[in-house]
Amino acid sequence: MAVEKVTEELSEEVVEQPEGLPPVEVEVEGEETVEEERPQDDFNANLAESMDERDLKDMAMELIEEYKKDKTSRKEWEDAYIKGLDLLGTKYQEVTKPFKGASGVTHPLLAESVTQFQAQAYKELVPSDGPVRTQVVGLQTPATEQQADRVKDYMNYLLMEEMEDYTTDMDQMLFYLPLSGSTFKKIYYDALLDRPVSKFIPAEDLVVPYYASDLKDCERISHVIKMTQNEVTKKMAAGFYRDIELIDSSSEPDSVQKKLNELEGVKGNGSDYLNTILEMHVDLNLDDYEDFDDKAKKIKIPYIVTIDEGSGEILSIYRNYKPGDLSYSRVEYFVHYKFLPGLGFYGFGLTHMIGGLSQAATQSLRQLIDAGTLKNLPAGF
């Protein structure tokens, strides 16, 4: 009878909560505190699936606004990078000044320096027998040395054979690095490919706040990803993204991408559509999914929020710390490569160091050729 009485009291006091809200603690007079089970039992669950649509809309608008502010703050860096790309001389231009048919040649100083760095660095970082080397720390025994050899052989096999994009991405990254001064690698486990991935990210596709000095201390990292609708649909079908309606809202490429397309000689036909996905590694305070006490409730912890910029819809929200980590340390996905340490977050490249010299050499070379052309031209003046 006593058990039935307590059960009746509990049934009267416990208020059922909508899905996605935190558990409610119910105190019964004379009895111990009863706590309902949390709605999100899976640590790796997509939290956006159980959140209110209005809260998701507000969060998406706020994060997109922060991303646009971060991108605007580095406008001068983008302009300097674009001017440096013109010094490569990969695109020949017909010059009409000071006269029609004047020389449009570009001195190969910058292009030759970039190519030499790329060739030498690739040879050192990706040798033919693999980039991984191992070292036994502590007492060396035949067993530990054999274990180190097995680890080295397996990791070299994984990088050179299983991860098909590792060598090509490294080759491309080492060409970008001396130009922009900074490049990035994103290292993670891809569940769809069922293997680790080490993906090259150019500096223009990774946006950080203007006051950031290091990736580890940066409170907001925005990775801009261009994906086809089919790729987004695949992730939705796999349950990685929330199922939303995609909107055809293709936007113009940014200024850096326009310059790269111009130098490469490619141009969109207007019918090609790519979704702009913002994968933002941010610190947030989601009260419904945190176990802080009242004193530490305002502490923000790491999450990965993925947003479709075209529709303004949040695709996923995942925790970005390890289960049981009471310090809530962010799991780092990005590695920053610098050509030369700069004055701020981004490094200095050859465009910054010898860009002026390359421009002067180009002007001098054109003047010499134009002077010889005019001297030998049988014209009236």
- Kindly provide the residue ranges of all beta strands, DSSP E only, lying in 18-130, ordered along the sequence: 25-26, 34-35
How far is it, in rounded angstroms, from Cα 259 to Cα 253?
10
Does the pLDDT at position 11 exceed 80?
no
Residue 187 CA, chain-centre distance (Å), reads 10
Q: Is 298 helix (H, G, I), strand (E, B) or coil?
A: coil
Does the pLDDT at position 57 exceed 60?
yes
> C-alpha distances in angstroms, 225 versus 181, 207, 245?
21, 11, 18
pLDDT of amino acid 157:
93
How far is it, in rounded angstroms, from Cα 187 to Cα 264?
27
Residue 182 CA, chain-centre distance (Å), reads 13
How far is it, in rounded angstroms, from Cα 46 to Cα 240?
7
How far is it, in rounded angstroms, from Cα 355 to Cα 107?
11
CB of 91 closer than 8 Å to CB of 366? no
| 152-203: pLDDT as tens digits | 999 999 999 999 889 999 999 999 999 999 999 999 988 778 889 999 999 9
- Kindly provide the residue ranges of all beta strands, DSSP E only, lying in the chain, ordered along the sequence: 25-26, 34-35, 182-190, 195-202, 206-207, 220-227, 275-284, 301-308, 313-319, 334-338
pLDDT of amino acid 3:
43
CB of 283 closer than 8 Å to CB of 218? no
How far is it, in rounded angstroms, from Cα 62 to Cα 287?
17
CB of 105 closer than 8 Å to CB of 369? yes
Q: Is 146 helix (H, G, I), strand (E, B) or coil?
A: helix
Does the pLDDT at position 284 exceed 70?
yes
> Minimal CA–CA distance to 301: which of 317, 278, 315?
317
| Cα torsion through 320, 326, 327, 333, rounded to 10 | -20
Q: Is 155 helix (H, G, I), strand (E, B) or coil?
A: helix
pLDDT of amino acid 288:
67
Lowest-confidence range among 9-13, 44-48, 231-235, 239-243?
A: 9-13
Mean pLDDT value across the chain? 82
Residues in the chain: 381
> Minimal CA–CA distance to 172: which of 139, 237, 126, 222?
126
Contacts (Cβ under 8 Å, ≥6 apart) of 287: 22, 297
CB of 84 closer than 8 Å to CB of 256? no
How far is it, in rounded angstroms, from Cα 142 to Cα 148?
10
pLDDT of amino acid 119:
94
Average pLDDT over residues 267-277: 71
Q: Which residue has the higher pLDDT, 250 or 130?
A: 130
User: What confidence tier does 249 reach under pLDDT thresholds 50, 70, 90?
Assistant: low
CB of 177 closer than 8 Å to CB of 113? no
| Cα torsion through 353, 359, 362, 368, rounded to 10 | -120
pLDDT of amino acid 268:
65
pLDDT of amino acid 21:
44
